[in-house]
Amino acid sequence: PVYWNPSSPLDYPAPILPTVAWAGTGVAFILWWRTPPIRRGSLFLLVAGFGTAVSGIGNFLEDVLDLRFGELLFTYGGMVGAMAVLVAAVLILTVRHPLRWTGLLLVAFVAGSIFPGSGGQFLTGASLVGLGIWLVLYQPRQHRDSHPTHP
């Protein structure tokens, strides 16, 4: 695919997919903040959600609409998001809770985001998919344990 000058219909998703990924990650962090299983670090998940969402908007403005100031939004939103995720990861790792190991997935997300070359984008995607699977698998077990009427 040709990223900057699309020449075929298959080239158009190239700049749009990272936008969707960053904005979707921002929404996911904000939703995770609303019902966090671990309260410590949850404020930083909210900050990370807004930072990555702003980064997604900046990516859309820069890469899809070709507006130069989108680069600033993408860069600063990504930096705020990455730092907030890193602080949340450290705080989550220090809690005695079954979900504390999600902090390692968050550290992998930050590492992949900071170093996108050499497999960093794959690391970011894999850590987010792993985090999503881990949280989905954890939530039913937590919900089932909180209701003693379930067999």
Question: Residue 56 corresponds to which tokens in the numbers above?
Answer: 């997604």
CA distance 135 to 66: 36
Q: For residue 2, what pLDDT is reported?
A: 54
Q: Are 91 and 114 in contact (CB under 8 A)?
A: no
Percent of the chain exceeding pLDDT 90 equals: 8
Q: Are 48 and 28 in contact (CB under 8 A)?
A: no
Calculate Rg over the CA atoms of the chain: 17
Q: For residue 64, what pLDDT is reported?
A: 79
What are the pLDDT digits (tens) for 95-133? Answer: 877 777 788 888 888 888 888 777 787 888 888 888 777
Closest CA to 128 of 45, 51, 41, 29: 29
Residue 143: which pLDDT band, with cuts at 50, 70 and 90?
very low
Q: For residue 146, what pLDDT is reported?
A: 47
Q: For residue 6, what pLDDT is reported?
A: 66
What are the pLDDT digits (tens) for 38-84? Answer: 677 778 888 988 998 998 899 888 887 878 888 899 889 989 988 99
Checking if the pLDDT of 36 tops 80, the result is no
